[in-house]
Amino acid sequence: MKLKNVGIIGLGTYVPEKVMTNFDFEKIIDTSDEWIRTRTGIEERRFASEDQATSDLAAEAAKKALKNAGVSVEEIDMIIVATATPDYNLQNTACIVQELIGAVNAGAVDVSAACSGFVYALTMAKGLVASGINKKILVIGAEVLSRCVDMQDRNTCVLFGDGAAAAIVTEVEEGYGMVSQFLGAEADLKGSLRTPAGGTRKPLSQEVLDERSNFIQMKGQDVFKFAVKALPKATLEALEQGGFKAEDIDMVFPHQANSRIIESASKRLNIPMEKFYLNLNKYGNTSSASIGLALGEALEKGLVKKGDLIALTGFGAGLTYASMIIRWSY
255 is catalytic: yes
Is 157 considered catalytic here?
Answer: no
> How far, in whole angstroms, is CA 53 from its chain's centroid?
16
**Short-list 90, 11, 39, 13, CA closest to 286:** 13
95, 115, 148, 157: which is the annotated catalytic residue? 115
95 is an active site residue: no
Burial of 202 (0-12, 13-18, 19+ CB in 10 A): middle
Give me the phi and psi of 303, to 5 degrees please: -85, -15
- Amino acid 267 reads K
Give 278-322 as a DSSP string: --HHHH-B-GGGHHHHHHHHHHHTT---TT-EEEEEEEETTTEEE
* One-letter amino acid of 168: I
Pairing of strands 137-144, 162-171: antiparallel
Give me the catalytic one of 68, 92, 255, 258: 255
Burial of 270 (0-12, 13-18, 19+ CB in 10 A): exposed
Active site residues: 115, 255, 285
